[in-house]
Amino acid sequence: MERTLLGYDIKYHPKYYVDSDWNKKRRSMFLLDANTKWPLSVDNNVWPSVFHYSFIESEFPNCQDMEKIMVKSKDTMNWALELWKEKDKMVEYYCHERECMQENIVIIAETLVTRFIPTIDSYWQMALDMPVKSLEDISGWEFLGYDIADQDGLSGLTNCGYEKEESELLRILWSTRLNEYGLIKNIGDAEEMLALSDKRISEHSPFYIYGIYSENPIK
C-alpha cells in the first residue's frame, strides 16, 4: 500500500467538545454508528483543530468556549492541506501562543493512500510538491483509523448527511466495521467506503483515503 505523510496537526481532546458539538440530532444525521463516543476525522468540522486557517465559519460552532490559534505564516505549514510540515515547529508555535499544557490536545499525523490518485491530478501534484518527512517519523504512533474525505478535507464518512432510508441499511452494513472513533478499521473496508462515497456524494468526488495517527494514545 502506497502512503505518504501529509503533515501534522494539533486537535482538541474529544472530551472538551464532544458533549456540546455532537448532540443526538447531529449524530443521527452524520454518523453510521450514532453511539460513537468520540467521532474523529481529518475534517476540522468533525474533529476541531486548535489552529484557525481560514475565516470561513463552520455550520457547527466547534469548541465555542475555546479560542483558536490563528496561523499567520504560510512558511510554517502546508497551506493547501492546513497541516504542518514539521511537528517540532508546530509544537513550538503552539507553546508560544499558549501555555504548553497539553492535556487537552492530541498531536496527530495524517497520511494519504496515494495509489488512488491519478498522475495527472494537478491539485495533489501541487500539494505534495514539497514532501513532508518520512513515514518513519511516525513509527510507533497509534493508528486511529481511516477516514474518507475529499481534497479539501470534507469527510464523506462523518460530515455528509445520510438520508433516513440509506442510513438504516448502511448502519447495518457498516456499524461493526468502524472502530470506537467512527473511523474505518482496515484498508479493504476503506476502499469500499471510498467507492461508496464517490457514488453517494458525487458532487464532492473524488474522495481519498486518509490515515490518522496519534503521537500518544488517546485516553
Distinct helix (H) and strand (E) counts, the chain? 6, 8
Quick one: 153 exposed, middle or buried, by C-beta within 10 A (0-12, 13-18, 19+)? buried
- What pLDDT score was predicted for residue 135? 83
- What pLDDT score was predicted for residue 129? 64
> Residue ranges of the chain with pLDDT lower than 70?
1, 54-66, 73-77, 79, 101-102, 116, 118-121, 125-133
- What pLDDT score was predicted for residue 118? 61
CA distances from 56 to 41, 60, 61 (A): 19, 12, 11
CA–CA gap between residue 184 and residue 193 (Å, rounded): 9
- What pLDDT score was predicted for residue 60? 44
Query: Which pTM value belongs to this model?
Result: 0.88
Residue indicated by cell numbers 499567520: 72
CA–CA gap between residue 152 and residue 44 (Å, rounded): 10
CA–CA gap between residue 142 and residue 75 (Å, rounded): 28
- What pLDDT score was predicted for residue 122? 72
Quick one: 35 exposed, middle or buried, by C-beta within 10 A (0-12, 13-18, 19+)? exposed
- What pLDDT score was predicted for residue 70? 82
- What pLDDT score was predicted for residue 132? 63
- What pLDDT score was predicted for residue 16? 82
Strand partners, 173: none
> Measuring CA to CA, which residue among 61, 52, 80 is closest to residue 23?
61
